[in-house]
């Protein structure tokens, strides 16, 4: 059973696959921490393309995108080099455990994800995406997670996906970013 989400995220500095230091929380902006599946995951790629296409709009809303994969930096880097936001390798799944985002066969067995699998693989083939490793680090059964973190570290909203394609859309993220925040 997943652990409960923390109410506050302790300050830390993560290292992106590019070597960039990424503060979590960000002292000036909200952070949308996306916990994705494996490096090269077609479903994740399809989702991240939608986020990248609206990145300027997300930044204008005061949100910093940070995406995490349960992969080592060398495996991750070729799959994320063109993203306009930081991609964090977490091969030991420390952040996944912290936020209660786990692996489960339902990631791919839930019928609600089957159409997304077909669309994502087809889109990846059209774009010429790199194929994921035959045996990706951390396996193929990871569930996605989304966490919105305030500059003071408070977790404002979170979602742990019920299947591999169950994550916030950009519109859902922007709606959450616009919600009033409690005064602390």
**Does 65 fall in a domain?**
yes
Percent of the chain at pLDDT exceeding 90: 58
146 occurs within a structural domain: yes
pLDDT tens string 122-139: 777 777 777 766 777 777
- 155-160/12-15 β-pairing: unpaired
Q: Are 27 and 143 in contact (CB under 8 A)?
A: no
Q: Residue 51 sits in which domain range?
A: 12-178
CB atoms within 10 A of CB 182: 7
Query: Which pLDDT score, from 0 to 100, does residue 6 have?
Result: 65
CATH code: domain of residue 86: 3.40.30.10
pTM (2 d.p.): 0.86
The answer to whether position 6 is within a domain reads: no
Q: Is the pLDDT of residue 64 over 70?
A: yes
**3 assigned to some structural domain:** no
Asked whether residue 183 is domain-assigned, the answer is no
101 within a domain of the structure (yes/no) = yes
pLDDT at 3: 44
In-domain check, residue 73: yes
User: Is omega for the bond preceding 156 within 30 degrees of 0, making it cis?
Assistant: no
How far is it, in rounded angstroms, from Cα 175 to Cα 170?
9
Q: What total of structural domains would you count in the chain? A: 1
At 2 the pLDDT is: 44
Give bridge partners of residue 24 from the DSSP assignment: 12
- Specify if 82 maps to a domain: yes
Determine contact, residues 68/88, Cβ cutoff 8 Å.
Answer: yes
- Residue 4 has a pLDDT of 52
């Amino acid at each position: 059973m997943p652990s409960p989400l923390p109410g506050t995220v302790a300050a830390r500095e993560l290292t992106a696959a590019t070597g960039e230091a990424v503060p979590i929380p960000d002292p000036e902006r909200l952070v949308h921490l996306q916990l994705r599946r494996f490096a090269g995951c077609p479903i994740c790629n399809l989702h991240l393309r939608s986020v990248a296409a609206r990145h300027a709009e997300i930044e204008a809303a005061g949100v910093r995108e940070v995406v995490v994969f349960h992969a080592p930096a060398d495996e991750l880097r070729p799959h994320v080099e063109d993203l306009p936001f930081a991609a964090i390798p977490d091969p030991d799944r420390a952040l996944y455990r912290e936020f209660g985002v786990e692996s489960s066969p339902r990631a791919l067995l839930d019928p609600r994800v089957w159409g997304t699998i077909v669309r994502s693989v087809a889109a990846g083939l059209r774009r010429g995406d790199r194929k994921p490793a035959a045996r990706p680090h951390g396996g193929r059964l990871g569930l996605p997670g989304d966490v919105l973190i305030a500059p003071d570290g408070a977790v404002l909203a979170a979602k742990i996906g019920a299947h591999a394609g169950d994550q916030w859309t950009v519109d859902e993220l922007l709606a959450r970013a616009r919600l009033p925040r409690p005064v602390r």
